[in-house]
Amino acid sequence: MALISTETRLDAYGTWLGFKRLLPLSMFVVAFGLAFGLAAAQAGLSKFETLLMSGLVFAGASQFAALELWQQDIPLLTIMITTFAINARHLLMGASLYPWLCQLPPGKRYGILTVISDANWAMAVQDYQRGERNLGILFGGGLALWVTWMLGTWLGLILTQGIPDPQALGLDMVLGCFLLTMAVGGKKNARLFTIWAVAAMVTLLALWLLPPNSHVVAGALAGGLVGALWLEPVADHGKTADKDQMEVDS
């Protein structure tokens, strides 16, 4: 009998597996990238600036928000704060990934985080809860999303007609349904329930009491703080799944 290694690893096989698994869903990202490319051209950005923004920022909602402010006399700091607010959920996502990522050197750790998005995060967290320790799943899924986002942006820049309103076709619901499936099918324990419950309650309170859009930041900070303070020991995380991961050599 040979024990399968349960140490965190990052290899080409896992990366390719994650890429293939998310590529079908990523096709819907092309439509949003196309819409962004069209909007960026109309806002006066050059092709280089548009592709650079999609490649480095890689956050659709934030990029559209930045375009709304681009032609106005608004300081760069305001645009940065707006981008942070829209993507504040990444604080919660980062907290949930900590037990997995903490074992990697900083260079690899933050390199993987550059392609973190909702879909590959949800897929990878569910796999981790089932005993998966190959971070290529997370990285490969992110690459699939990034490639299709860049493809859509490029198409939007070269086409005169596209999909100006993806929501009219219901494309905005695809990712939401995928994330709901991942959440319902994922591991359930007191820690995760508490994190999401605190994030939800703080978000609702902030929605009523704080300025518009600040509820996103408040909820993510609250949930992320609970996750950071209530860490699952790496050695015990998925213990049941890990001790059963054995294969028999014929």
- Dump pLDDT digits (tens) for 210-244: 877 677 678 777 877 887 777 665 444 444 334 43
CA-to-CA distance for 153 and 30, rounded, in angstroms?
7
Q: What is the pLDDT at residue 94? A: 83
Selected residue with higher pLDDT from 117 and 177: 117
Q: Is residue 118 pLDDT above 80, yes or no?
A: yes
Band of residue 183 on the pLDDT scale cut at 50, 70, 90: low
> In percent, how much of the chain has pLDDT > 70?
75
Selected residue with higher pLDDT from 231 and 5: 231
Q: What is the pLDDT at residue 181? A: 60
Report the pLDDT averaged over residues 97-121: 86
Give residue-wise pLDDT tens across range 194-207: 888 888 899 899 88
Give residue-wise pLDDT tens across range 8-53: 788 888 899 999 999 988 888 888 888 888 888 877 888 999 999 9
CA-to-CA distance for 189 and 127, rounded, in angstroms?
15
Selected residue with higher pLDDT from 49 and 193: 49
Return the SS3 of 20. helix
Give residue-wise pLDDT tens across range 119-139: 888 888 888 888 888 888 899
Band of residue 82 on the pLDDT scale cut at 50, 70, 90: confident
Cβ neighbors of 227 (< 8 A, separation 6 or more) are 92, 95, 96, 98, 191, 195
Q: Range with the lowest mean pLDDT among 56-60, 65-69, 180-184?
A: 180-184
Band of residue 157 on the pLDDT scale cut at 50, 70, 90: confident
Q: What is the pLDDT at residue 239? A: 44
CB atoms within 10 A of CB 67: 18
Q: What is the pLDDT at residue 88? A: 77
Q: What is the pLDDT at residue 195? A: 81
Q: Is residue 150 pLDDT above 90, yes or no?
A: yes
Q: Positive or negative, the Cα torsion across 67, 69, 70, 75?
A: negative
CB atoms within 10 A of CB 111: 13
Say how many residues make up the chain.
250
